[in-house]
């Protein structure tokens, strides 16, 4: 596996030195296919088949721009995705004979099929909307298999990627600096922070054990903290992966769509979904919610569309009742938020701005955190039991988790918001420094202190490639060695979203 990754990186580097655009694209596609083949040639064949299907159907759609032609292409993609992702659990559920279970065991889901199927669908939708894009077969296959994103996104769109595939690469220290920073951040988030949360300060006392090994029953506070802890775990894991992918592509001048933007400071549920898994939530918004909402002028119809869109969001993850209920839960939360806004405008309710902002943030954070119980629970029964415990006043007097679990979650909460607050202040100062007419420092006085700090932050941020990257790379290596030495006790979990 490591040998193949090494060859892929060599091909990737060589590709960016080629003057011919077509030769560069061909070598990038070869590297992408080689990288994906790590998981098996059968999976690669399915990816190639999906690419050929969508490219061909896009050409058909350009010649015959009808809704029937579009939906036939969409249906073919859904059939392909459904066969590998949804048929096995259905067979296991309804199976009354051994051949059902045997067939289910033999259908293996290709890694990343949910992501590159959605990329194919977005191409068909954009073609139907007459977006100006006519990729060659080589360019389309590269779009579908682009190796940094093929496993778990971000979900890319052809209008964003095609100009970058065709552009002559230009070396930039800015790309190296930003790419290195994102890459190192991602490794740290995934390999250290996410792993710490799932395993705990002491092995077996983390978030994973809280869901999997509870024997004495949860208290209500345990449920809240497990929801909060899993939310941070999922964030560090998936945002870490996204940073690795975005940073890797940025090193070579490719800018991928962002996937996370400080979601835990959101003040409303709707804002949260513009900041969490942004590439997928924007996909659901543009290709599901907006078209469905426009299908009827009934003023209550958008409420139903919220629930439909979020239910599909949950079902996209897996054909499990826990994910479906997670989607329905968030659909209802969005509906309640919309109704609450309308009531606030009618009643002209007001409160001090800072208090209102704090209460809005707290309510959003807690409601979203509680929803993670559905996402992570091992079964529907477990999820409903945990959810019911939260609304049982007597359950707030019982604590069932080890003390180290509470310490870990509290440290995570405090450290995350302290870091976010400090970063926001530094970015504000940096913006003020850039806005000064002189652009020079040092400056005297309190305002000067802010400007000097902003200037210093700008200098180090813009120069991370030569001082911060090597330092953190060494620290990351030491962390990796320490975790490897403890592998008999703690196993490093895979990226969660490669499961979807």
pLDDT tens, residue order, the chain (500 aa): 556 667 777 877 787 788 889 998 999 999 899 889 988 899 999 999 999 999 999 999 999 989 999 999 999 999 999 999 988 887 777 755 666 666 667 788 899 999 999 999 999 999 999 887 889 999 999 999 998 899 888 999 999 999 999 988 887 888 888 888 888 889 889 888 999 999 888 888 899 888 886 666 788 999 999 999 999 999 999 999 999 999 989 988 899 999 999 999 999 999 999 999 999 999 999 999 999 999 888 889 999 999 999 999 999 998 899 999 999 999 999 999 999 888 877 777 777 888 889 999 999 999 999 999 999 998 899 899 999 999 999 899 888 888 999 999 999 999 999 999 888 877 776 666 566 645 454 555 555 555 555 555 565 555 555 555 555 555 555 555 444 444 433 444 556 666 66
CB atoms within 10 A of CB 449: 13
**pLDDT of the residue at 446:** 53
Q: Which two tokens stand for residue 100?
A: 């059902």
CA angle centred on 56, ends 51 and 62, rounded to 5°? 125
**pLDDT of the residue at 458:** 61
**Distance of alpha carbon 109 from the chain centroid:** 20
Backbone angles phi, psi at 206, to 5 degrees: -105, -165
DSSP state string for 294-321: TT---TTHHHHHHHHHHHHHHHHH-S-H
As a dihedral over the C-alpha atoms of residue 138, residue 141, residue 147, residue 149, rounded to 10 degrees, the angle is: 130
d(CA 200, CA 119): 37
Place of tokens 């997670």: 326
**Distance of alpha carbon 61 from the chain centroid:** 31
Structural contact between residues 18 and 24, judged by C-beta atoms closer than 8 angstroms: yes
Structural contact between residues 281 and 259, judged by C-beta atoms closer than 8 angstroms: no
Structural contact between residues 246 and 154, judged by C-beta atoms closer than 8 angstroms: yes
Q: Which residues contact 95 (CB under 8 A, 6 or more apart)?
A: 101, 104
Structural contact between residues 138 and 22, judged by C-beta atoms closer than 8 angstroms: yes
Query: What is the chain's length?
Result: 500
d(CA 498, CA 238): 9
Q: Which two tokens stand for residue 123?
A: 């191409």
d(CA 449, CA 455): 10
Where is 13: in which H helix or E strand? helix 2-15
């Amino acid at each position: 596996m490591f040998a193949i990754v090494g060859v892929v990186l060599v091909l990737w580097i060589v590709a960016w030195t080629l003057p011919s655009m077509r030769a560069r694209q061909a070598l990038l596609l070869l590297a992408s296919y080689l990288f994906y083949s790590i998981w098996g040639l059968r999976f690669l064949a399915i990816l190639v088949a999906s690419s050929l299907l969508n490219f061909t159907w896009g050409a058909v759609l350009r010649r015959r721009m009808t809704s029937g032609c579009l939906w036939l292409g969409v249906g073919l993609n859904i059939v392909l995705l459904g066969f590998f992702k949804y048929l096995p659990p259905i067979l296991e559920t309804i199976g009354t004979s051994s051949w059902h279970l045997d067939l289910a065991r033999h259908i293996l889901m290709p890694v990343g099929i949910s992501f590159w199927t959605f990329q194919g669908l977005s191409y068909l939708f954009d073609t139907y909307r007459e977006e100006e894009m006519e990729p060659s077969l080589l360019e389309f296959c590269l779009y579908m298999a682009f190796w940094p994103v093929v496993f778990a996104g971000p979900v890319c769109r052809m209008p964003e990627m095609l100009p970058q595939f065709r552009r002559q690469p230009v070396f930039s220290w800015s790309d190296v600096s930003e790419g290195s920073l994102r890459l190192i951040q991602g490794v740290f988030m995934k390999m250290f922070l996410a792993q710490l949360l799932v395993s705990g300060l002491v092995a077996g006392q983390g978030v994973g054990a809280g869901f999997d090994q509870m024997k004495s029953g949860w208290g209500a506070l345990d449920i809240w903290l497990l929801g909060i802890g899993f939310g941070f775990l999922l964030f560090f894991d998936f945002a870490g992966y996204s940073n690795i992918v975005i940073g890797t592509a940025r090193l070579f001048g490719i800018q991928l769509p962002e996937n996370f933007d400080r979601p835990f400071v959101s003040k409303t549920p709707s804002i949260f979904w513009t900041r969490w898994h942004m590439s997928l939530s924007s996909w659901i918004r543009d290709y599901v919610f907006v078209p469905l909402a426009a299908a009827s002028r009934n003023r209550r119809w958008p409420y139903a569309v919220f629930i439909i869109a979020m239910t599909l969001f949950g079902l996209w993850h897996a054909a499990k009742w826990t994910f479906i209920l997670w989607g329905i839960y968030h659909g209802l939360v969005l509906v309640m938020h919309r109704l609450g806004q309308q009531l606030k405008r009618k009643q002209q309710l007001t409160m001090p701005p800072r208090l209102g902002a704090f209460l809005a943030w707290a309510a959003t954070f807690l409601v979203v955190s509680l929803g993670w119980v559905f996402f992570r629970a091992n079964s529907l029964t477990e999820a409903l039991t945990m959810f019911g415990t939260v609304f049982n006043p007597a359950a707030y007097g019982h604590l069932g988790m080890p003390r180290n679990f509470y310490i870990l979650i509290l440290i995570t909460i405090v450290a995350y918001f302290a870091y976010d607050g400090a970063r926001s202040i530094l970015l504000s100062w940096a913006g003020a420094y850039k806005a000064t007419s002189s652009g020079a420092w040092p400056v005297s006085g309190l305002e000067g202190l802010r400007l000097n700090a902003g200037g210093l932050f700008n200098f180090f941020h813009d120069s991370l490639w030569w001082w911060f990257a090597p330092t953190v790379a060494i620290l990351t290596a030491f962390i990796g060695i320490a975790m490897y030495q403890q592998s008999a006790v703690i196993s490093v979990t895979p990226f969660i979203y490669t499961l979807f």
